[in-house]
Amino acid sequence: MMTEDRGAPIEAVDIAARRALMRAPEKPRHAKSISQEELRARLVKEALNNGLPADNSRQLDVPQDSQMTLPVTEIQAYDRNPRRFQNEQYEAIKTSIRAAKHLTSPLVVTRRPGQDKFMVGKGGNTRLAALQELFAETGDSAYQFVVVTYVPWESESATLAAHLVENELRGEMIFWDKANAYEEMKRLLEAEYGANFSGRAFEQALRERGLPLGRAVLGYYAFAVAQLSALGEAATALSIPKVRELQPVFLASDRLLRHFQGHEAWPGLRDAALGQAREAWRESGQLDTAAIARALDQQLAAHLGETEAFIGRSRVLYEQAPHEEVASLIAQARLDSAPPAPEPTPADPAKSSRPAPSKATGAQPPPRDAPTLATIQDLASRFARVNGVADCLRLDDDWPTGFYVEVPENDEPIDLGASDAGRYHGWWMLAVLSRQLDGAWSARMPEDSTWRQAQRQERGRDEFALQHYMDSILGMPIDPLTLGRWFTEDPISVATWLELAKAVNHLRASAPERFRVLEEAP
């Protein structure tokens, strides 16, 4: 029987320490030096605790790439892991590791400055989780240690880029995970460079890091993170085609709210619509972009006190012509979404919103001439859009000419000289044709009409209110010289206006009752 030689492991450690120092490469400047005694003590500790491995180059402070063996409990998952939801292949990966009793390729690990534990440095978070779970479940030492490749820490953005490159190569990440990861990458780069990145600069920075993505795709990612987070877990069903469908819907809805001075309500209305989509996804597993658009229309309609048909039509028009003036599109939407006016009958007086006929005059409510009114209102809308006053135009079947113009919202001046001449001409030429300049007619306008209140001195407005609007907002009525210049310089608008004037005169001749009622109104 041989006597145990307790000095043999120590002697082997001593030899290993000398060899380690001999084969150690030249250390870079400022690197921490390790004396022979320190290295020998470290290896002795490992030898006494675990036995001396055949090759364990666990030189933790050496900055260059190296391989080492680490306990799985000493490795952390990457805390900025691009994959937010569990890998669908997790169970298959775990089964493969269980069968092999080890990883078929080393994990890549790194370590942030000032931290003790290592973390996954380039993909592999799923494999690490499976290995740690197997060790926790079985206690099998085969899962306790893992061979890793250590790479020195470079920066937060470099580490995230390494994970993204690995995941892009595998093609396993869903759209939502990618969107959040690339937005996080942009934030990290901007923090490291101390500057905001334009779309082109961000694209170039990614390309330099092995991530050649186009700006269109990056734009979809940015939009999704900024606008669609309220989908919650339903966001896992997002894709580039779905986001491509939703983006114009959201931009149009947001723009409509801005026009109506309701932009501060956008986040709440948007998230409420997305919340409905989230619940529908939980029930069906489907994310319906058309249903999201309808839900947004409903939210905006309820908030603005408009019909869903009008909001939906306004949104669609904006999607089709995003560079068009919103006010013009809204005027067209009102015309398109207005229900057809029914013919009033003596047996159904409720269908008419006009006051009862005057007993003194015996006047009867003017009959509607729907085809003529539709033509007039279409021409008025076209003229208003061309001249930038669609926001002031009001279409009203009960008004004799079928339209009138209001004071601009928020008291925005339109008499701004040559740069706004079209708006000035448009407002006054419509006002002339609508006959609203005659104060006797304004009683037929809605009670909340600014023009009515100023003209009739209602709701606290005094006799100078109308003059104030002309002095500060509308400008003075068109004089003959200005009118003549407009006729010669804007033939398209003039042609539309002349056609509109002809239609109004035809209506006056064919349905004089419409005009006589107002002329005789008190």
Q: How many domains does the chain have?
A: 4
Average of per-residue pLDDT across 510-514: 84
Angle between helices 175-193 and 156-170 (to 10 degrees): 160
Pull the structure tokens for residue 342. Answer: 């029914």
The pTM (predicted TM-score) of the whole model is 0.55
CB 68 within 8 A of CB 41: no
Are 315 and 256 members of one domain?
A: yes
CB 395 within 8 A of CB 335: yes
Are 246 and 263 members of one domain?
A: yes
Are 127 and 39 members of one domain?
A: yes
Question: In one letter, which amino acid is 376?
Answer: I
- Residue found by looking up tokens 């609007």 in the block: 469
Give the single-character DSSP code of 195.
Answer: S
Are 142 and 70 members of one domain?
A: yes
Are 394 and 419 members of one domain?
A: yes
Are 111 and 249 members of one domain?
A: no
**Pairwise CA distance, residues 465 & 469, whole Å:** 6
**Pairwise CA distance, residues 158 & 114, whole Å:** 18
Are 368 and 514 members of one domain?
A: yes
**The predicted structure's pLDDT at residue 369:** 44
Are 286 and 434 members of one domain?
A: no
**Pairwise CA distance, residues 49 & 220, whole Å:** 54
In a domain, 83, yes or no: yes
In a domain, 250, yes or no: yes
In a domain, 70, yes or no: yes
The two beta strands, 75-76 and 118-120, are parallel
What band does 342 get if pLDDT is binned at 50, 70 and 90? low
Residue range(s) defining the domain that contains residue 93: 13-20+34-155
Q: Which helix (H) or strand (E) holds 378?
A: helix 370-386
In a domain, 442, yes or no: yes
In a domain, 195, yes or no: yes
Are 370 and 506 members of one domain?
A: yes
**Pairwise CA distance, residues 56 & 69, whole Å:** 6
**The predicted structure's pLDDT at residue 277:** 97
Q: Which of 331, 305, 336 is nearest to 384 (CA)?
A: 331
Are 333 and 238 members of one domain?
A: yes
Q: Which residue has the higher pLDDT, 385 or 64?
A: 385
Q: Which residue has the higher pLDDT, 363 or 264?
A: 264
65-80 exposure pattern, b = at least 16 Cβ within 10 A, e = fewer: eeebebebeebbebee
**The predicted structure's pLDDT at residue 430:** 92
**Pairwise CA distance, residues 64 & 379, whole Å:** 77
- CA dihedral (314, 316, 319, 325) in degrees, to 10, reads -30
Lowest mean pLDDT among 185-189, 196-200, 344-348, 442-446: 344-348
Does the pLDDT of residue 127 top 60, yes or no? Answer: yes
In a domain, 354, yes or no: no
Q: Which residue has the higher pLDDT, 238 or 10?
A: 238
What is the per-residue DSSP string for 379-433?
Answer: HHHHHHHHTT-TTTEEE-TTSTTSEEE-PPGGG-----GGGGHHHHHHHHHHHHH
Query: How many C-beta atoms lie closer than 10 Å to residue 472's C-beta?
Result: 11
Question: In one letter, which amino acid is 336?
Answer: D
Query: How many C-beta atoms lie closer than 10 Å to residue 421's C-beta?
Result: 18
In a domain, 162, yes or no: no
Q: Which residue has the higher pLDDT, 367 or 88?
A: 88
Are 222 and 235 members of one domain?
A: no
Does the pLDDT of residue 178 top 60, yes or no? Answer: yes
Q: For residue range 6-17, list pLDDT tens digits in order.
A: 444 444 434 444
Are 220 and 240 members of one domain?
A: no
Pull the structure tokens for residue 470. Answer: 């002309």
Q: Which residue has the higher pLDDT, 461 or 364?
A: 461
Chain mean pLDDT for the chain: 78
Q: Which residue has the higher pLDDT, 507 or 250?
A: 250
Q: Which residue has the higher pLDDT, 406 or 8?
A: 406
Q: For residue range 465-475, list pLDDT tens digits in order.
A: 667 777 777 77
In a domain, 344, yes or no: no
Report the alpha-carbon angle 366-370-376, nearest 5.
100
Beta bridge partner(s), residue 393: 405
